[in-house]
Amino acid sequence: MNALDRFHASMTYAPADRVPNHEVGVWVQTKWRWRDEGLAIDDLHWDWFVGEPRWDLDPREYIDVRFDMIPPFEERVLERDGDTEIIQRSNGVVSRALVTGVAEGMRASMDEYLRFPVTTPQDFHSLKHRYRPSSPSRYPAYWDQFLLEGWSRRQHPLILGRNCSTFGYYWRAREWMGTENLSYAWYDEPAMIEEMMEFITDFTIETSRPLFERGVKPDYIFINEDLSMKNGPLLSPDMYRRFILPEMKRLVAFLKSSGVRWVIVDTDGNCELVIPHFLEAGVDAIWPMERASAMEPLALRRRFGRDLRLWGGVDKRVLAQGPALIDTHLREFQSLIAEGGFIPSVDHLVPPDIPLAHFEHYMERKHRLLRGEPF
């Protein structure tokens, strides 16, 4: 079977030679550690695993459509003070960040967020000009002439979105307003929130439409929607149902009627309380099932059944603890592998506390797991 056939077989619970082998990537600091430990690869990037034959990951291809701000805000340092600097980011957010611990643009710590581009409905109206769907730079250069034919002959999954995703409703509103301000706005500014949610749907549809009009049919789309913390969602299920669900339904219906086969929601944290709303909207799978947030794949399958496909679920913390615990952990997934609709992977980027030897052991055992072989 090729990677495309294998992927769709997994998603439809059909027989296959094995389950797809996917991973998302590593921290830059992990890349540096593994190079020091003997990994002889010069250029490791988000999909670098595919270039390492020992790990034999299934290829995937992303359509590099930009769903971000065009033009962006000017990114610049506003102030420096000792070990920190205050930065205006390209999305308009102003934050305080540590100067130390930066590796190839990736910081080892979270910023302190100070200001956001939207605090009033007028701010939001002023921001809209950065989201014109018709901007030519949203699409890959020369894609109309050179890429369409190749996509029609592909033997691997094709994914809609820049860096594997679009931005979802909570994600984008939080980026515009910040978590605290958005938490109040559901109650204090409902008209503005409704306008935002409708705008996000319209923008995503119109940005995607040129692809569909040229006959491109992506196999799936990731919707980045980090709406959860460790213990549950950052908004109530009632607020999700009122503000997001109607627009999510409209978006998913458009995508699937245009040829997108599967819709995947990417959210860290514990999103279990809003999974029923995802399913009602037509979502097919969730990722990454973060184990530190008590997202247990077996429990989720028992509760939601086969309508919810499951991706991720391998506890990154266990990979740091050595081969014996890795083996015990992976054996938990044997029944899900046998049933189908489950693609195991590390539950986010691989952090730098995982030695290369542990990761290589994980990948060797994972290969056996994906083929249904005991170990």
- Print the SS3 string covering the chain: CCHHHHHHHHHCCCCCCCCCCCCCCECHHHHHHHHHCCCCCCCCCCCHHHHCCCCCCCCCEEECCCCCCECCCCCEEEEEECCEEEEECCCCCEEEEECCCEECCEECCCCEEEECCCCCHHHHHHHHHHECCCCHHHCCCCHHHHHHHHHHCCCCCEEECECCEEECHHHHHHHHHCHHHHHHHHHHCHHHHHHHHHHHHHHHHHHHHHHHHCCCCCCEEEEECCCEECCEECCCHHHHHHHHHHHHHHHHHHHHHCCCCEEEEECCCCCHHHHHHHHHHCCCEEECCCHHHCCCHHHHHHHHHHHCEEEEEECHHHHCCCHHHHHHHHHCCHHHHHHCCEEEEECCCECCCCCHHHHHHHHHHHHHHHCCCCC
* pLDDT tens figures, 307-316: 999 999 999 9
- pLDDT of 46 reads 46
- pLDDT of 162 reads 62
For the 3-71+117-370 domain, the top CATH level (class) is alpha beta
- Regions in the chain scoring below 50 on pLDDT: 43, 46, 48-51, 164
- pLDDT of 141 reads 79
* pLDDT tens figures, 265-297: 999 999 999 999 999 999 999 999 999 999 999
- pLDDT of 88 reads 97
- Residue ranges of the chain assigned to CATH 3.20.20.210: 3-71+117-370
Query: CB-hemisphere CA count at 13 Å for 202?
Result: 10
- pLDDT of 274 reads 98
- pLDDT of 52 reads 55
Kindly report the pTM of this predicted structure.
0.93
- pLDDT of 59 reads 87
